[in-house]
Amino acid sequence: MSVCSFCLRAMAYMETVRSLRIAILVMTVILVVEPALGSFMVEKNSLTVITPKSLKGTYQSAIGNFGVPQYGGTLSGVIVYSTVNLKGCDKFPDDYFRSKPGAWPNFALIDRGDCYFSTKVWNAQQAGAAAVLVADDKHEDLITMDSPEEDPSASQYLQKISIPSALIEKKFGDSLKKALSDKEFISMKLDWRESLPHPDDRVEYEFWTNSNDECGPKCDAQVEFVRNFKGVAQILERGGYTQFTPHYITWYCPQAFIESKQCKSQCINNGRYCAPDPEKDFNKGYDGKQVVTENLRQLCVFKVANESNPRQPWKWWDYVTDFQIRCRMKDNRYGPECAEEVIKSLNIDVDKVRKCMGDPNADADNDLLKHEQEAQVGSGVRGDVTILPTLGINQRQYRGKLDKTAVLKAICSGYQETADPPVCLSDTVETNECVDNNGGCWERGSVTACKDTFRGRVCQCPLIDGVQFEGDGYTHCEAHGPERCKVDNGGCWEETRLGVHHSACHGHHHHHGCHCPWGFEGNASRVEGGCVDVDECSRKLKCQCPECKCTNTWGSYKCECSGDLLYFHQHDTCINQKGAQSETAGWVVSLIVLAGISVLGLGSYVVYKYRLRTYMDSEIRAIMAQYMPLDSQSEIQNHSRDDVI
Ligand SMILES: *[C@@H]1O[C@H](CO)[C@@H](O)[C@H](O)[C@H]1NC(C)=O
């Protein structure tokens, strides 16, 4: 189709189908990348007027793309039309539309124009309306009321809109107003039961999305939705209740511009597949090229998981949510390295994914992306995908806010009566996902970061016996605080031999990680090797004087001297007994005393005195040990460790 017929139609929808601005932006800013588009489909619900008799009958209305349409249900109410604030752009008086207890709910009738559709609906909801009908202001076919895309003030209330809304034709709106001015009581029923086909016991649905995580409130809402909906989506898919397919909108670069800088930075496969630059600035941050490549990777992850044996198509949800958490553009992690880490952690075959992606620099078609381009042009009743994100359910486009409950309600309305899966009745079911490869989360022994929740599995460092673990939940978690050695010895090595215990965990506030105690070396971790004894003798670290005889022990060493000599631990040498010992010691002591006093002053002298005493005590013990070999081993070990502290 030609660009211009698209332009014309785009202009006609501009006020409402604001998401088309994605496409328009691409065309005006970049001027070259065209989306492939065919026809836009308006999803409808039916509206039945019950009274007055003169209006009785069924009318079409177009479901607004925000708030919560009651898919599969009906809602009856009475029309209320405010004579001031006709367009609903200002706040209504408190409780203006609220119905009395026991009475039918009130539907606000509001005129189109002057402000966002969503503003009108929000104002009516705040004043107590149960639903909103917006009357078109010109004679035309029904359009979809969309939410404003890049208005920060609107995004604050958008997620809070919880009532359904619909656009009605001008002619119908006029006759309603006429009846009201004649003091008629208008009651009607809004009906969404036939909004979606519900032919059998399986719902086919598709989600059109984008891996770009930096596009303002709409992207944030999309990320949030995927995260929240994942658990339910996986239950449905595992149970065979649904067949889900992810899709990615793809643009292409017209032939004439393939060599341009814009197409080169935004497209892969020689201009065949493009995505708009995330920052809309070619000179900074990420390029469209990287986005379209990640989109392709996500498609391939789905394909590989869908074709693996056994089939696990639901892993796409894990991949996408983990990628959003671990590989954000904000953190500068968006890209192939991080993506492949996630793929591996989910036990998906990286080589198959790479093979599926092919060579993005090749001047050749990529089967998957080619298929995506064809699929986004509407076929049959579904219509083109122009609003991002778009959810298609049973070949129709979902309208309403992307919210777990609202979407689940819509999917559940897609089953033949009585064929609803249990999750349609309750969504508090666990997914048992931690069983498989620990859900790709961090684990160490019995300590795991994998949590089964009704939102699917999440990787979150645990809190165990009051010990908080901190980390990313995927590749590492570490215990913090003085109690950190309590759980699993902080993940550190520990061992007891012949009543002697050594540990690589130190439970002080400022300590973290594992460190081998003196006399040991190694990586100190519990699972990877731990600590091994250092052989002080063969390494010639200790006890090397000519009269010394060195014996290695576990965590320490033992030194014996020949003849009458005694081992003087502090100086790692053999000395004469008695006289020589006190002489040498006295000499050394007075020297240190002098230095200590002169350098450190009186304060350190006091400290020194204390140290001197312990030093003397331990020296005596060392000497005694020489005479009482049976009792000596642990004494010397303690002693030798004191030496280094
Ligand atoms: C996923 O697998 C199912 C069953 O093999 C198949 O019918 C479906 O077309 C596959 N979906 C995609 C997008 O490849």
Check pLDDT > 80 for residue 603: no
Angstrom CA distances, 45 to 62, 133, 431, 449, 642, stand at 6, 12, 34, 45, 82
Question: What is the mean pLDDT of the segment spanning 124-145?
Answer: 92
Alpha-helix runs per DSSP H in 127-210: 152-158, 170-181
Residues whose CB is less than 8 angstroms from the CB of residue 487 and which lie 6 or more positions away in sequence, other chains included: 447, 464, 465, 467, 479
Residue 561: closest CA among 579, 571, 547: 547
For residue 381, the model assigns a pLDDT of 56
Report which protein residue has its CA nearest ligand 1's atom 6: 306
What 8-state DSSP symbol labels residue 630?
A: G
Check pLDDT > 70 for residue 481: yes
Residues whose CB is less than 8 angstroms from the CB of residue 325 and which lie 6 or more positions away in sequence, other chains included: none
CA of 302 from ligand 1 middle (Å) equals 9
Backbone φ/ψ region at 453: left (φ over 0), alpha (ψ -120 to 50), beta: beta
CA of 312 from ligand 1 middle (Å) equals 11
For residue 23, the model assigns a pLDDT of 37
Q: Are 544 and 550 in contact (CB under 8 A)?
A: yes
CA of 523 from ligand 1 middle (Å) equals 47
CB of 638 closer than 6 angstroms to any ligand 1 atom: no
Check pLDDT > 50 for residue 383: yes
CB of 634 closer than 6 angstroms to any ligand 1 atom: no
Residue 41: closest CA among 382, 392, 414: 382
For residue 463, the model assigns a pLDDT of 86
Question: What is the mean pLDDT of the segment spanning 432-445?
Answer: 78
CA of 293 from ligand 1 middle (Å) equals 22
For residue 132, the model assigns a pLDDT of 96
Q: pTM for the whole thing?
A: 0.64
Q: Name beta bridge partners: 551.
A: 558
Report which protein residue has its CA nearest ligand 1's atom 3: 306
CA of 556 from ligand 1 middle (Å) equals 64
Probe target for ligand 1 pocket from 202, 205, 243, with the most ligand atoms within 8 Å of CB: 243
Question: What is the mean pLDDT of the segment spanning 17-41?
Answer: 37
For residue 592, the model assigns a pLDDT of 58
Higher pLDDT, 194 or 268: 268
Q: Are 166 and 61 in contact (CB under 8 A)?
A: yes
Report which protein residue has its CA nearest ligand 1's atom 8: 306
DSSP tally for the chain: helices H, then strands E:
15, 30
Pairing of strands 531-533, 520-522: antiparallel
CA of 411 from ligand 1 middle (Å) equals 19
CA of 546 from ligand 1 middle (Å) equals 79
Probe target for ligand 1 pocket from 202, 306, 353, 372, with the most ligand atoms within 8 Å of CB: 306
Lowest mean pLDDT among 170-184, 318-332, 368-382, 521-535: 368-382
Higher pLDDT, 628 or 382: 382
Report which protein residue has its CA nearest ligand 1's atom 10: 306
Lowest mean pLDDT among 73-87, 210-224, 528-542, 590-604: 590-604
What 8-state DSSP symbol labels residue 28?
A: I
Report which protein residue has its CA nearest ligand 1's atom 13: 245
CA of 413 from ligand 1 middle (Å) equals 23
Q: Which domains does the chain have, with CATH numbers?
A: 44-191 (3.50.30.30), 197-425 (3.40.30.10), 448-528 (no CATH)
User: What's the CA gap between 546 and 569, in Å, rounded?
Assistant: 15
For residue 421, the model assigns a pLDDT of 81
How much is the mean pLDDT over the chain? 79
CA of 403 from ligand 1 middle (Å) equals 26
Ligand 1: nearest atom to the Cα of 303: 14
Report which protein residue has its CA nearest ligand 1's atom 2: 306
Cβ atoms within 10 Å, residue 508 = 10
Tokens linked to 465: 């016996």
Segment (H or E) for 320: helix 315-326
What phi and psi, each to the nearest 5 degrees, are found at residue 597? -65, -45
pLDDT in tens, 143-180: 888 877 666 777 778 878 989 999 999 999 999 999 99
Ligand 1: nearest atom to the Cα of 313: 1
Check pLDDT > 50 for residue 34: no
User: What's the CA gap between 44 and 195, in Å, rounded?
Assistant: 6
Q: What is the DSSP string of 414-474?
A: TSPTT---GGGT-------GGGTGGGG--EETTEE-EEEETTEEEE---EETTEEEEE-SS
CA of 240 from ligand 1 middle (Å) equals 13
CA of 10 from ligand 1 middle (Å) equals 34
CB of 306 closer than 6 angstroms to any ligand 1 atom: yes
Q: What is the DSSP string of 530-591?
A: -EEE--TTTTT-S--STTEEEEEETTEEEEEESTT-EEEGGGTEEE-STHHHHHHHHHHHHH
Question: What is the mean pLDDT of the segment spanning 114-141?
Answer: 93
CA of 242 from ligand 1 middle (Å) equals 12
Place 18 in a pLDDT band, splitting at 50, 70 and 90: very low
Lowest mean pLDDT among 115-119, 202-206, 380-384, 478-482: 380-384
Cβ atoms within 10 Å, residue 357 = 19
CB of 303 closer than 6 angstroms to any ligand 1 atom: yes
Place 65 in a pLDDT band, splitting at 50, 70 and 90: confident
Q: Are 449 and 477 in contact (CB under 8 A)?
A: yes
Report which protein residue has its CA nearest ligand 1's atom 14: 303
CA of 288 from ligand 1 middle (Å) equals 28
Report which protein residue has its CA nearest ligand 1's atom 7: 243
Spell 401-429 as b/e; 16+ CB within 10 A means b.
bbbbebbbbbbbbbbeeeebbebbeeeee
Check pLDDT > 80 for residue 190: yes
Check pLDDT > 80 for residue 264: yes
Report which protein residue has its CA nearest ligand 1's atom 12: 303
Place 389 in a pLDDT band, splitting at 50, 70 and 90: confident
Q: What percentage of the chain has pLDDT greater than the value 70? A: 78
User: What's the CA gap between 397 and 95, in Å, rounded?
Assistant: 33
CB of 245 closer than 6 angstroms to any ligand 1 atom: yes
Residue type, 202: R
Check pLDDT > 70 for residue 27: no
Question: What is the mean pLDDT of the segment spanning 234-238?
Answer: 92
Q: Are 549 and 561 in contact (CB under 8 A)?
A: yes
For residue 607, the model assigns a pLDDT of 53
Q: Are 77 and 172 in contact (CB under 8 A)?
A: no
User: What's the CA gap between 173 and 138, in Å, rounded?
Assistant: 10
Check pLDDT > 50 for residue 638: no
CA of 306 from ligand 1 middle (Å) equals 6
CA of 303 from ligand 1 middle (Å) equals 8
Report which protein residue has its CA nearest ligand 1's atom 1: 306
